[in-house]
Amino acid sequence: MKDAQVELKNILDGLENATISECYARLKMLENIIEDVRGTELENVCSHLDHYLSDADIRAKDAKYKTMQDTELAKLKALLERGDYARAREISFLCKTPDL
C-alpha cells in the first residue's frame, strides 16, 4: 500500500490548478491504484477522489461548485497529511463537509 500512498500523493499534488485534460489523466493514474487500496482505509478516499476528478468539466463551468470542491480538496489533503484516514473518508466532493 506504500506505493499506492505515494501515487495518491502524486495525483493530489497541484490538483487544484489542473486543467480538465490533466484531471482526466490523473483519473487514469487513480484507476491504476484502485486495486491496491481495496479493503484499506484509502479505498473510500480514492472512490471520492474519482468523483472530484470526473467533475473537472463541471468545475470549469460553475464557479460556486469549483469553490466548494476545491475547499473540500484542501481539507482532504490536510487530513491525509496528518494520517487521519477516517475523517478523510468523509470528504465526498458532493457537498461541503463540516470543518474537520
| pLDDT digit string, tens, across residues 47-84 | 999 999 999 999 999 999 999 999 999 999 999 999 99
Q: How far apart are CA 92 and CA 21, in angstroms?
A: 21
Q: What is the pLDDT of residue 42?
A: 92
Q: Provide mean pLDDT across the span 23-38.
A: 92
Is 94 among the domain residues? no
Residue 50 phi, psi (nearest 5): -55, -45
Is 10 among the domain residues? yes
Q: How many domains does the chain fold into?
A: 1
Q: What is the pLDDT of residue 4?
A: 85
Under a CB-based contact definition with an 8 Å cutoff, are residues 64 and 55 in contact? no
Q: How far apart are CA 78 and CA 24, in angstroms?
A: 23
**pLDDT above 80 for 21:** yes
3-state secondary structure 60-79: HHCHHHHHHHHHHHHHHHHH
Query: pTM score, two decimals?
Result: 0.90
Is 93 among the domain residues? no
Q: What is the pLDDT of residue 89?
A: 93
Domain boundaries, position 22: 2-88
